[in-house]
């Protein structure tokens, strides 16, 4: 079960944040939301989650850069990242692999749920 | 007369002599009436006079040698009889009744009786018509030869000069006395002596030499460019005894030909600039071409274009293009500043053209260099032409230099000015083009940005609608929610199309190749059409099992959605669309045929361009992007797409793609 699994959600648009939070909470995840990259980076420096859902276009940062940085840092490299973007070019800029994936806006909520389930399950507890 | 015979002559001999003499002879009595004439006189007069009636002469009409009509009473015979003195060797002209003229030398002598009284006169007429004609011809010829501008020279077969006219004196500088009897090589330069052998060989063979261009040496040692024509001269028996040579001074002609050649060259350059600039929108290419061409046309050692850059300390000029010298030649120099020499050019005050710039009063007034900086390419001849935009602002200047004085002429100036005018128009066009290009890029950026901005609200909208759907709702509300979700999907498709346009423009439409069954994909699409379009039935014509291809499946779906969607959209009065899919020769060919309104011939090429919509179909919705993107996708797959249609009779769209094209080739 996904109980106790922790997901960090980084999304600056409040209504979308609320929607995703609602979906994830209903699925049984423990969700912490951040509206800025700054707040998120402070938090992950203290505690690692089981999955990060990261918007690419953030007011104070770029999700791809944050992801790359995180994957290069041994402290955070184990955390899987799901990137969300409306910009389909972004998909070409990232190397998709098992623990780094991409979902483009607008997404179907069932597809989204399946992707999250798959990724959160592979993370170390 | 002691030395002629005084012995008496026999009367019979005398009669024979006078009657049959080849000379015309006649006699008159002392009153002037003709008393006797011989046959030769009749022949000469062209008539037979009447004895005792014709007076003074038997001629029909008589003239003075200069052509004035002569009163018969004034003719030499009349004068002889009236004066009693002979008028021998008088020259007259007579006209025969048939209007033929004869020149005559007449010898009237008075005859006296034994008593010393005047008895009459005799006259002998000698026909000198032919002699006169020959004389006239000769004098005309001489006049022609003497007055000719051409040198006319004759020489014998040994090459010795035998005649030399005024023209020859003018061209070669020698007088007749100086050259007659000399060998013709006196005017032939040593390195061309073999020419003379060739000429003589030809002349001996009876051949003429026509318009032979060569060089001869004048008395002062200078060269003369001439064109010679040499003809054999024959004696009365037809033997070749020498040559006559006509030499024309072609120096002027050469100069003119040179001028024409240069003018043609310039025209060519001007023309090539004109047509060359027409298609150019790249500023650097325009300026380089203009600099190269004007440097060539002016004969400058080097030429350059400087931009007019206004800085805090007035004017400074930035080197932009250079011709005839390497860029390093100027690299160490500072940029020319606002000096008396340069200012007028950058103020657009007009052309400066100076034969020797170092002697110009404006030159050398500015420290630190007081003239050209050390190491500057040597400039004596100087020309500077401002390049002014059609709007009147000074874009910069074309500068030309040459180490010799007086190289640049008014004609060079005119040509550079006219090229500069063309260049400024081309530069203006270039600027407009760059602006349009920048605007177009901005537009694509805007579309991309707007598309992305729309996607986040769309995601939220769709997400909440889907959440609502999952809850407990009655069937009517569920249908409303279904339709709402469907419309968010449609909205997303429209946004994707817009984004695809900016991807295509940015060259970022990338394909993700995968191996899939095209037929299965087509059936899936038909399934969704069955839900959304109840009006039309899609009939698959070909029933082959599977059609595996290597392609971007999402993009192929996009094409099929577009073609099938169009077929339905543009056949509102029909209810069938036909789909034919087949693989042959490693090519997948798909045909979508409808029975709709069709496309006129004039629009068939345009339907594949972006934003194009057939004008009379304004009431059918769409952005005019679908076929443009489909064509782009098909072509990116290495395929082709085309349409067959005529107005009112439906349309068939057909595309083919290779089934095994690999990613990236």
- Distance, in Å, from the CA atom of B457 to the CA atom of B453, rounded to the nearest integer, reads 8
Question: Tell me: the pLDDT tens digits for B455-514?
Answer: 888 889 999 998 898 888 888 888 888 888 888 888 888 888 888 887 787 777 778 888
In angstroms, the separation between the Cα of residue B610 and the nearest Cα of chain A is 21
Give every residue of chain B whose pLDDT is below 70, as ranges.
1-3, 278-281, 310-317, 330-338, 365, 367-370, 374-375, 615-621, 662-665
**Token pair of B189, please?**
């330069």
- Residue A3 pLDDT greater than 60, yes or no: no
A59 at B interface, C-beta within 8 A: no
Q: What are the C-alpha distances in Å from B280 to residues A54, B194, B275, B290, B307?
A: 48, 55, 9, 12, 19
- A-interface mutation test, from B455, B463, B471, B499, most A Cβ less than 10 A away: B463
The ipTM (two decimal places) reads 0.83
Which residues 25-54 of chain A have a CB within 8 Å of chain B?
Answer: none
Instruction: Please list every residue in chain A whose beta carbon sits closer than 8 Å to the beta carbon of residue B449.
Output: none
Instruction: Please list every residue in chain B whose beta carbon sits closer than 8 Å to the beta carbon of residue A105.
Output: 455-456, 458-459
Of B459, B464, B510, the CB nearest to A105: B459
In angstroms, the separation between the Cα of residue B484 and the nearest Cα of chain A is 14
Q: Helix, strand, or coil here: B514?
A: strand
Contact flag B463-A16 (C-beta cutoff 8 Å): yes
- Distance, in Å, from the CA atom of B83 to the CA atom of B212, rounded to the nearest integer, reads 65
Contact flag A19-B455 (C-beta cutoff 8 Å): no
Out of A7-21, A108-122, B120-134, least confident range: A108-122
CB B579 within 8 A of CB B564: yes
B451 at A interface, C-beta within 8 A: yes
In angstroms, the separation between the Cα of residue A111 and the nearest Cα of chain B is 11
Question: How far does CA A107 lie from the centroid of its chain?
Answer: 14
Question: How far does CA B600 lie from the centroid of its chain?
Answer: 44
Nearest to B182 by CA among B166, B194, B164: B164
A22 at B interface, C-beta within 8 A: yes
| pTM, two decimal places | 0.49
Token match 């051949």: residue? Answer: B207
Which residues 139-158 of chain B have a CB within 8 Å of chain A?
Answer: none
Nearest to B302 by CA among B284, B329, B283, B276: B329
Ranges of H-type helices in B533-577: 553-569
Instruction: Please list every residue in chain B whose beta carbon sits closer than 8 Å to the beta carbon of residue A110.
Output: 466
Share of chain A above pLDDT 90, in %: 47
- Residue A25 pLDDT greater than 80, yes or no: yes
Contact flag A87-B467 (C-beta cutoff 8 Å): no
């Amino acid at each position: 079960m996904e109980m106790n699994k922790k997901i960090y959600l980084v999304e600056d648009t409040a209504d979308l944040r609320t929607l995703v939070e609602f979906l994830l909470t209903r699925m049984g995840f423990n969700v912490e939301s951040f509206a800025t990259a700054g707040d998120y980076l402070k938090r992950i420096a203290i505690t690692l989650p089981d999955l990060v859902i990261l918007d690419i276009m953030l007011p104070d940062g770029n999700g791809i850069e944050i992801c790359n940085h995180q994957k290069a840092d041994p402290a955070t490299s184990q955390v899987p990242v799901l990137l969300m973007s409306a910009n389909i070019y972004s998909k070409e800029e990232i190397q998709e692999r098992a623990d780094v994936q991409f979902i483009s806006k607008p997404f179907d909520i069932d597809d989204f749920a399946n992707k999250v389930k798959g990724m959160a399950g592979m993370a170390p507890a | 007369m002691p030395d002629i015979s005084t012995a008496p002559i026999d009367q019979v001999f005398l009669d024979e002599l006078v009657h049959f003499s080849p000379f015309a002879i006649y006699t008159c009595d002392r009153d002037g009436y003709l008393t006797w004439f011989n046959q030769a006189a009749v022949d000469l007069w062209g008539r037979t006079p009447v004895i005792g009636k014709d007076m003074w002469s038997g001629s029909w009409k008589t003239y003075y040698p200069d052509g004035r009509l002569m009163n018969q009473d004034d003719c030499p015979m009349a004068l002889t009889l009236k004066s009693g003195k002979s008028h021998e060797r008088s020259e007259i002209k007579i006209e025969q009744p048939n209007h033929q003229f004869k020149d005559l030398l007449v010898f009237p002598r008075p005859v006296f009786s034994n008593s010393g009284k005047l008895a009459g006169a005799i006259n002998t007429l000698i026909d000198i018509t032919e002699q006169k004609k020959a004389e006239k011809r000769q004098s005309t010829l001489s006049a022609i030869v003497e007055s000719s501008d051409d040198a006319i020279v004759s020489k014998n077969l040994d090459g010795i000069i035998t005649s030399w006219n005024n023209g020859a004196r003018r061209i070669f500088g020698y007088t007749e006395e100086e050259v007659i009897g000399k060998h013709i090589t006196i005017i032939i330069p040593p390195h061309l002596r073999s020419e003379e052998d060739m000429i003589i060989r030809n002349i001996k063979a009876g051949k003429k030499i026509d318009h032979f261009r060569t060089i001869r040496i004048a008395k002062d040692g200078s060269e003369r460019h001439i064109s010679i024509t040499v003809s054999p001269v024959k004696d009365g028996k037809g033997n070749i005894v020498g040559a006559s040579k006509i030499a024309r001074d072609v120096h002027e002609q050469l100069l003119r030909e040179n001028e024409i050649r240069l003018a043609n060259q310039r025209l060519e350059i001007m023309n090539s600039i004109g047509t060359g600039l027409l298609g150019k929108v790249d500023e650097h290419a325009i300026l380089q071409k203009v600099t190269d061409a004007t440097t060539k046309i002016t004969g400058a050692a080097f030429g350059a274009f400087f931009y007019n850059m206004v800085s805090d300390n007035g004017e400074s000029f930035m080197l932009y293009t250079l011709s005839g010298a390497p860029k390093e030649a100027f690299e160490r120099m500072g940029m020319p500043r606002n000096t008396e020499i340069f200012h007028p050019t950058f103020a657009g005050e007009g052309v400066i053209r100076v034969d020797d710039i170092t002697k110009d009063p404006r030159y050398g007034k500015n420290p630190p260099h007081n003239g050209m900086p050390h190491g500057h390419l040597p400039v004596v001849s100087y020309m500077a032409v401002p390049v002014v935009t059609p709007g009147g602002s000074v874009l910069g200047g074309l500068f030309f230099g040459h180490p010799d004085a007086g190289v640049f002429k008014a004609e060079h100036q005119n040509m550079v000015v006219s090229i500069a005018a063309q260049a400024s128009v081309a530069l203006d066009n270039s600027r407009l083009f760059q602006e349009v290009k920048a605007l177009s890029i901005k537009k694509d950026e805007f579309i991309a940005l707007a598309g992305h901005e729309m996607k986040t609200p769309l995601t939220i909208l769709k997400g909440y609608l889907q959440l609502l759907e999952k809850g407990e709702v009655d069937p009517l509300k569920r249908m409303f929610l279904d339709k709402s979700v469907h419309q968010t999907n449609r909205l997303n498709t429209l946004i994707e199309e817009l984004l695809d346009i900016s991807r295509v423009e940015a060259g970022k439409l990338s394909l993700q190749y995968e191996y899939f069954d095209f037929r299965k994909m087509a059936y899936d699409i038909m399934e969704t059409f069955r839900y959304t379009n109840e009006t039309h039935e899609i009939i698959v014509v070909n029933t082959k099992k599977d059609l595996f291809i290597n392609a971007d499946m999402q993009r192929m779906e996009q094409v099929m959605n577009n073609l099938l969607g169009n077929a339905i959209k543009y056949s509102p009065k029909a209810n069938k669309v036909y789909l034919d899919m087949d693989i042959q020769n490693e090519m997948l060919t798909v045909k979508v045929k409808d029975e709709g309104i069709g496309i006129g011939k004039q629009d068939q090429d345009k339907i594949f361009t972006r934003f194009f919509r057939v004008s009379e179909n304004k009431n059918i919705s769409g952005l005019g992007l679908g076929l443009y993107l489909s064509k782009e996708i098909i072509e990116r797959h290495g395929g082709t797409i085309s349409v067959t249609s005529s107005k009112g009779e439906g349309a068939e769209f057909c595309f083919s793609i290779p089934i095994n094209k690999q990613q990236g080739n």
